[in-house]
Amino acid sequence: MASGVTVSDACKTTYEEIKKDKKHRYVVFYIRDEKQIDVETVGERNAEYDQFLEDLQKGGTGECRYGLFDFEYTHQCQGTSEASKKQKLFLMSWCPDTAKVKKKMLYSSSFDALKKSLVGVQKYIQATDLSESSQEAVEEKLRATDRQ
């Protein structure tokens, strides 16, 4: 079900700056006035994952957000001795259990619009609490798509 929420040009521009230019580490999006997805926070290129989680929850316990993160980790293929550095873009829908039902519905029904406008994201993650959004949980989901 589409919500009629649109994606601002700022979202697409910031996404391209992360994907192509590697200008930022992450971006946090929010839905403004129940009408448009817009940029709330942009993380410096040297920002850590903890800072991303902090910004994702900055709105408070009743607020949902979307977050895009350029995740880097090392991967070692079986049978090789050297590890390679990998980067994957993931888009997270953060809707804590404490958020109001109406807000959760708005964010879940608008997630598709954001997905369609940000072409090239490797993984989509839905998180409702810190155990699902932790760096370990996310890395595990991203590694699951690597070749062994």
Residue 148 above 70 pLDDT? Answer: no
Task: State the pLDDT at residue 8.
Answer: 97
Region 103-124: what's the mean pLDDT? 95
Confidence of residue 1 (pLDDT cuts 50, 70, 90): very low
- Average pLDDT in the chain: 92
CA distance 14 to 23: 9
27's enclosing H/E stretch is strand 24-32
Task: State the pLDDT at residue 30.
Answer: 97
Q: What is the pLDDT of residues 47-92, one digit of tens each?
A: 999 999 999 999 998 999 999 999 998 877 777 777 788 899 999 9
Sole residue written with tokens 């040009």: 9
Residue 29 above 70 pLDDT? Answer: yes
Confidence of residue 2 (pLDDT cuts 50, 70, 90): low
Confidence of residue 139 (pLDDT cuts 50, 70, 90): very high
Residues 6+ apart with CB under 8 A from 112: 2
Residue 147 above 80 pLDDT? Answer: no
More confident residue, 84 or 124: 124
Question: Residue 83 to residues 46, 74, 79, 88, 90: CA-CA distances in angstroms?
Answer: 22, 6, 11, 16, 21
Complete DSSP assignment for 102-148: HHHHHHHHHHHHHHHHSTT--EEEEESSHHHHSHHHHHHHHHTTS--
Task: State the pLDDT at residue 82.
Answer: 78
Cα 85 off chain centre by: 20
Sole residue written with tokens 């410096």: 44
Question: Residue 125 to residues 64, 72, 103, 122: CA-CA distances in angstroms?
Answer: 14, 16, 18, 10
Sole residue written with tokens 């009629």: 4
How many CB atoms lie under 10 A from the CB of residue 122? 13
Q: Which two tokens stand for residue 132?
A: 């699902």
DSSP state for residue 92 in the 8-state scheme: E
